[in-house]
Amino acid sequence: MPVVDDVAGRYQGQVDFLAVAGRSDLSQTAEQADKLLETVPWGLDDSIWELFGDPYQPYTVLITADGKVFDAWFGALDEAELSNRIDSLLSVHS
């Protein structure tokens, strides 16, 4: 999550980021979010995992401004790969 938080800072004003936790209790989630996220807002919602058919965390979804899934993947990416995927989204949908 620190990578996501760093990347979010660079794309501020171009891309909205939201971290959604699930399968955890609120106090544990809040404690981790306070440690890992400075710029990315977060929430706790178990139902979103079912919506996207996601059985694992972390799971990332890039959604276009009109609500379509542009890209999705399981697992963490390094900063360069995450930036490349966001740049691809912006090149098609800016």
d(CA 36, CA 68): 28
Predicted confidence (pLDDT) per residue in 32-71, tens digit: 888 888 889 988 887 877 787 766 778 888 999 899 999 9
Asked if omega into 58 is within 30° of 0 (cis), the reply is yes
Determine the pLDDT at residue 10. Answer: 94
Domain 2-93 has CATH 3.40.30.10: yes
pLDDT at 26 over 90: no
Any idea which residue has 């809040």 for tokens? 30
d(CA 57, CA 87): 23
Domain borders along the chain are 2-93
Percent of the chain whose pLDDT exceeds 90: 39
Determine the pLDDT at residue 1. Answer: 67
Q: Which helix (H) or strand (E) holds 29?
A: helix 26-36
